[in-house]
């Protein structure tokens, strides 16, 4: 596979941009290769600057559930573009997207748009602290809520991918107010939330973790979290930046039937353009400026192009059977993937799937939390990643991320991916034998 131009661009980019990338996990450090530079994407395919074509399972880390450059989304952006790109004033499209979000997410009565998932989550915890007058945020090991200071404690995604404990630059007195506990452990959860020494404002959770690889909540875990936070007057925040509009139109809260007090959104809601959002009960949201004292602002919040992309995306997602069809496709693909793994790497992998998000962990498993996820063989994942890339299949450049099924992937695409997976797993097995 020719990668000359990507290499040349990467060398140049590294002189101008830290690591040559604008987000660390894109640097492909943990999978032992250089990043490819993308020229264009359409439907289920990505095309790099050297003319290589790839079947895309990263989907821009989740947003591209419709596939790249969906005609309805492109048309909406092009139409809106004729009237300008940014006003710094309210526009009707913000109301249109707000109505769609409030209709879709059962627990959301009011919503504020921002420009990234990080802005959404950092605003939500500030709101929870302002609303309760308390300080401590409880999160879960391996969950990633963006790069705001309070979250860089045992975080997932790029933080574990790069094997960094947290991050320099985060003052101790910030970290002191973040408590991180194991995912899926009801006993530690109850003990922590009932600890009167902790002045807990909120719990923030990925209702299905996507940033230590995909890890589902154990049956009853979210329900227990809900009942404890209700009893103790703690704000429950669902970080649905990945799961929102992914697991269902109403996200994980619809999928599992557990209603948080606040919800954070991102990725899919922008249809590929920069949109984040946080929303929830009016009683809480009305504390946000200018109605209330909790301050949050953003120059490009509610940007018309981004709103138009979000509206067009949600209109497509609202079509009958969209999620049923995606579920059938994802379930069939995952079952076949697991069969192939068992045939060539018996007892060596674990496939976790919820809806159209999944991860193949190179560890016997089960993978139910950060500790068991970290047992995965990242070297083997890296070899698999490189082998699949060489065969035209673009997986997440980290063992601790999700692969996504999109509406644009055809049966032929998925069959090709399974064929290439069989080739790759067979190669891994042969190399294992020869050692
Ligand atoms: P952004 O600020 O990257 O838009 O969103 C932060 C965020 C918040 N919450 C969850 C559950 C998330 O998954 C994310 C961002 N996800 C990562 C990868 N899983 C984005 C990829 C990257 O960092 O480049």
pLDDT > 90? residue 306? yes
Active-site entry in 110, 154, 267, 380: 267
pLDDT bracket for residue 162 (50, 70, 90)? low
* 215, β-bridge pairs: 209
Is 413 in the same domain as 303?
A: no
Is 337 in the same domain as 313?
A: no
Which one of 317, 332, 357 terminates a domain?
317
pLDDT bracket for residue 168 (50, 70, 90)? confident
Distance from Cα 239 to the centre of ligand 1, integer Å: 10
Q: What is the pLDDT of residues 90-112, one digit of tens each?
A: 999 999 999 999 999 999 999 99
What is the structure's pLDDT at 164?
Answer: 60
- Ligand 1 neighbourhood includes 117 CB (under 6 angstroms): yes
The whole-number average pLDDT for the span 121-128 is: 98
Distance from Cα 320 to the centre of ligand 1, integer Å: 28
Which one of 292, 317, 342 terminates a domain?
317
pLDDT > 90? residue 173? no
Is 133 in the same domain as 219?
A: yes
Active-site entry in 48, 239, 261, 369: 239
Atom number in ligand 1 closest to CA 143: 11
Find the Cα–Cα–Cα–Cα dihedral 287, 96, 241, 215, rounded to 10°. 120
Q: Whose CA is nearest to atom 9 of ligand 1?
A: 145
pTM: 0.97
- H-helix or E-strand spanning residue 138: strand 136-140
What is the structure's pLDDT at 155?
Answer: 75
The whole-number average pLDDT for the span 308-327 is: 97
Distance from Cα 429 to the centre of ligand 1, integer Å: 33
- Ligand 1 neighbourhood includes 157 CB (under 6 angstroms): yes
Distance from Cα 156 to the centre of ligand 1, integer Å: 10
Q: What is the pLDDT of residues 344-391, one digit of tens each?
A: 999 999 999 999 999 999 999 999 999 999 999 999 999 999 999 999
Is 135 in the same domain as 87?
A: yes
Is 104 in the same domain as 215?
A: yes
Is 118 in the same domain as 200?
A: yes
144 has catalytic annotation? yes
State the number of CA atoms in the 13 A half-sphere of 226 facing the CB: 17
Atom number in ligand 1 closest to CA 117: 5
- H-helix or E-strand spanning residue 98: helix 92-104
Which one of 317, 337, 365 terminates a domain?
317
267 has catalytic annotation? yes
Distance from Cα 196 to the centre of ligand 1, integer Å: 32
Q: What is the pLDDT of residues 3-29, one digit of tens each?
A: 999 999 999 999 999 999 999 999 999
The whole-number average pLDDT for the span 200-215 is: 98
What is the structure's pLDDT at 171?
Answer: 85
Beta strands in 269-323 (DSSP E): 276-280
Range of the domain at 86: 71-317
pLDDT > 70? residue 163? no
Is 96 in the same domain as 47?
A: no
Is 230 in the same domain as 148?
A: yes
Q: What is the mean pLDDT of the chain?
A: 96
Q: What is the pLDDT of residues 285-296, one digit of tens each?
A: 999 999 999 999
**Residue in 24, 25, 20 with CA at minimum distance from that of residue 10:** 20
Q: Whose CA is nearest to atom 23 of ligand 1?
A: 23
- Ligand 1 neighbourhood includes 206 CB (under 6 angstroms): yes
What is the structure's pLDDT at 172?
Answer: 84
Is 284 in the same domain as 386?
A: no
Is 216 in the same domain as 355?
A: no
What is the structure's pLDDT at 435?
Answer: 85
Number of domains in the chain: 2
Is 240 in the same domain as 268?
A: yes
CATH code at 141? 3.40.640.10
Q: What is the pLDDT of residues 46-91, one digit of tens each?
A: 999 999 999 999 999 999 999 999 999 999 999 999 999 999 999 9
433 has catalytic annotation? no
Cα–Cα distance, 60 to 82 (Å, whole number): 26
- Ligand 1 neighbourhood includes 401 CB (under 6 angstroms): yes
Burial of 173 (0-12, 13-18, 19+ CB in 10 A): exposed
Atom number in ligand 1 closest to CA 211: 19
CATH code at 63? 3.90.1150.10
Is 353 in the same domain as 371?
A: yes
């Amino acid at each position: 596979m020719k990668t000359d131009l990507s290499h040349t661009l990467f060398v140049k980019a590294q002189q101008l941009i830290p690591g040559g990338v604008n987000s660390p996990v894109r640097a492909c450090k943990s999978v032992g290769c250089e990043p490819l530079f993308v020229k264009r994407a359409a439907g289920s395919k990505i095309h790099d600057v050297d003319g290589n074509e790839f079947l895309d399972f990263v989907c821009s880390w989740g947003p591209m559930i419709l596939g790249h450059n969906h005609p309805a989304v492109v048309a909406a952006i092009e139409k809106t573009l004729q009237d300008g790109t940014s006003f710094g004033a309210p526009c009707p499209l913000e109301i249109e997207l707000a109505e769609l979000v409030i209709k879709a997410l059962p627990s959301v009565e009011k919503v504020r748009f921002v420009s990234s998932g990080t802005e959404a989550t950092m605003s939500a915890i500030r709101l929870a602290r302002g609303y309760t007058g308390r300080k401590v945020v409880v999160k879960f090991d391996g969950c990633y809520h963006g790069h705001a200071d309070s979250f860089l404690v045992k975080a997932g995604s790029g933080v574990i991918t790069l094997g960094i404990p947290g991050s320099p630059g985060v003052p101790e007195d910030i970290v002191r107010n973040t408590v991180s506990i194991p995912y899926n452990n009801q006993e530690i959860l109850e003990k922590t939330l009932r600890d009167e020494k902790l002045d807990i404002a909120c719990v923030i959770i990925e209702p299905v973790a996507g940033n230590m690889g995909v890890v589902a909540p154990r049956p009853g875990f979210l329900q227990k979290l809900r009942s404890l936070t209700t009893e103790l007057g703690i704000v429950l925040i669902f970080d649905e930046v990945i799961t929102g509009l992914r697991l269902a139109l109403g996200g994980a809260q619809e999928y599992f039937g557990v209603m948080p007090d606040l919800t954070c959104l991102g990725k899919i809601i922008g249809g590929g353009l920069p949109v984040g959002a946080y929303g929830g009960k009016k009683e809480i949201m009305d504390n946000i400026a200018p109605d209330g004292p909790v301050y949050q602002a953003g120059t490009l919040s509610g940007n018309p192009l981004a709103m138009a992309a979000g509206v067009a995306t949600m209109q497509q997602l609202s079509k009958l059977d969209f999620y049923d069809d995606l579920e059938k496709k994802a379930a069939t693909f995952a079952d076949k993937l697991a069969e192939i793994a068992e045939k060539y790497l018996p007892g060596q992998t674990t496939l976790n799937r919820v809806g159209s998000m999944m991860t193949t962990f190179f560890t016997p498993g089960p993978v139910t939390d950060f500790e068991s996820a970290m047992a995965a063989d990242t070297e083997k994942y890296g070899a698999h990643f490189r082998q699949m890339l060489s065969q035209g299949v673009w997986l997440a450049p980290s063992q601790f991320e999700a692969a996504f099924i999109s509406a644009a992937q055809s049966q032929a695409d998925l069959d090709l991916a399974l064929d290439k997976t069989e080739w790759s797993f067979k190669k891994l097995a042969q190399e294992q034998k020869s050692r």
